[in-house]
Amino acid sequence: MTTAIYRILDASFNRIGEGFRTLEDYARFALNDALLAESAKGLRHDLATAASQLPRRELLAARDTPGDVGTDLQTSGEQTRAAPASVAVAAATRCQQALRSAEEYAKCISPNVAVQLEKIRYQTYTLAAAIETLPDRCNRLADRNLYALINGADGKDSFLKNLRSLAEGGVDIFQLRDKQLSDRELFEYGSAAMTALRQMPGQRPLLIINDRADIAIACQADGVHVGQDELPLASVRKMMPPASLIGVSTHSYAQAETAVLGGADYIGCGPTFPSQTKTFDEFPGLDFLKQIAASISLPAFAIGGINQENLNQVLQTGIRRIAVTAALQSAAAPQQAAAALKQSLSKAQ
């Protein structure tokens, strides 16, 4: 029986490794996403580490490909795939199934290896979901690049006037970010903003509510933005209607990685420069933006002190989206300031 166990484990390790390689190729060459490709590669290495704890000689000795009664067993669906995305989904499913099989049989000879395989299996579920959903997450914000954080400090009429004027200027995502308004006021400003946005012709701008999933749900906003101190992404996802957008603030590559793998629809990346709106002790700055641009294909908005004067430095990092407050709020002519930012962003596309 031990030979049979090693034979199953040998076949499973091969299937899992091949599956990870297939996922890595899809992330790398079809999605152009270095982070997800690295993730698949990391799991392949974790698998090799787990496998190396079993005697390789026994694994190879148990291999008997010519004597395998299953090599001719195939379903008709295995020979055709609609698109590379279907290849990746099938590879992920195969990895997960083979991991479960390996984990169960490894329990007979090495509970420690079984535990490692279980961990890899859970990480594979997360990676598979991130890879499968990435194209849709990218498409939803594909042509949106100017994101304005707005508040209600001057009252509701002024808030709505500003919203309409900035939308005319080219803002395509708004965030209601106001730490002073009461819950009732946030709800009323958010609902009024949604009514105004729904009346706009063509592809209307989106409304995101800062910090508060409950307010976003109540006023039927397009989504919510959460920082590192608010509710975790997974909890917010469970609360929000299925089509909602969820954005996450990130201040380091590790936080961005967690947000991408966790299913965020976009990330905010900053602070880039000192800001008139919020005080910071640390500035991941332009180097962080370069890292994000090189590795992450999920929509990423640079944030923090960005204005028309320093926008080129942001664009030189490869980042093509920005989120701003003061650049519009403190401008003498906010609509024109938005239009100027929009034009610079469009030129860089």
Ligand X SMILES: Cc1ncc(COP(=O)(O)OP(=O)(O)O)c(N)n1
Selection from Mg ion, ligand X, ligand 3NM, none that 275 binds (CB < 5 to 8 A by kind) is ligand 3NM
Q: Which of 177, 212, 237, 321 binds ligand X (CB under 6 A)?
A: 177
Q: Is 184 annotated as a binding residue?
A: no
Q: Which of 17, 152, 305, 334 binds ligand 3NM (CB under 6 A)?
A: 305
Residue type, 259: A
What would the 3-class secondary structure string for the chain be? CHHHHHHHHHHHHHHHHHHHHHHHHHHHHHCCCHHHHHHHHHHHHHHHHHHCCCCHHHHHHHCCCCCCCCCCCCCHHHHCCCCHHHHHHHHHHHHHHHHHHHHHHHCCCCHHHHHHHHHHHHHHHHHHHHHHHHHHHHHHCCCCCEEEEECCCCCHHHHHHHHHHHHHHCCCEEEECCCCCCHHHHHHHHHHHHHHHHCCCCCCCEEEEECCHHHHHHCCCCEEEECCCCCCHHHHHHHCCCCCEEEEEECCHHHHHHHHHHCCCEEEECCCCCCCCCCCCCCCHHHHHHHHHHHCCCCEEEECCCCCCCHHHHHHCCCCCEEECHHHHCCCCHHHHHHHHHHHHHHHC
Instruction: Using the minimum distance from each CB to Mg ion, give the nearer residue, 12 or 329.
Output: 329
Size of the site for ligand 3NM (CB under 6 A): 17
Q: Which of 34, 62, 326, 348 binds ligand 3NM (CB under 6 A)?
A: 326
Pairing status of strand 266-269 against strand 322-324: unpaired
Q: Which of 39, 151, 162, 275 binds ligand 3NM (CB under 6 A)?
A: 275
Q: Which of residues 13-72 bind ligand 3NM (CB under 6 A)?
A: none
Of 20-28, 161-169, 222-230, 272-280: span binding Mg ion (CB under 5 A)? 222-230
227 is a contact residue toward Mg ion (CB under 5 A): yes
Q: Is 247 annotated as a binding residue?
A: no
Q: Is 176 annotated as a binding residue?
A: yes
Q: How many CA atoms lie within 13 A of 158 on its CB side?
A: 8
Q: Which of 205, 268, 299, 334 binds ligand 3NM (CB under 6 A)?
A: 268
Q: Which of 211, 222, 257, 265 binds Mg ion (CB under 5 A)?
A: 211
**Beta bridge mates, 176:** 150, 209
Instruction: Using the minimum distance from each CB to ligand 3NM, give the nearer residue, 219 or 322.
Output: 322
271 is a contact residue toward ligand 3NM (CB under 6 A): yes
Give the per-residue contact string, 248-267, with ligand 3NM (x = CB under 6 A; - = no).
Answer: -x------------------
Give the per-residue contact string, 315-334, with ligand X (x = CB under 6 A; - = no).
Answer: --------x-----------
Helix axes 34-51, 253-262, angle to 10 degrees: 90
Size of the site for ligand X (CB under 6 A): 15
324 is a contact residue toward ligand 3NM (CB under 6 A): yes
- Token pair listed for 138: 């990218």
Using CB under 6 A, list all residues that contact ligand X: 147, 175, 177, 210-211, 225, 227, 230, 247, 249, 268, 278, 301, 303, 323
Using CB under 6 A, list all residues that contact ligand 3NM: 149, 249, 268, 270-271, 275-278, 303-306, 324-327
Annotated binding site for Mg(2+): 211, 230
Using CB under 5 A, list all residues that contact Mg ion: 211, 227
Annotated binding site: 175-179, 210-211, 230, 249, 275-278, 305
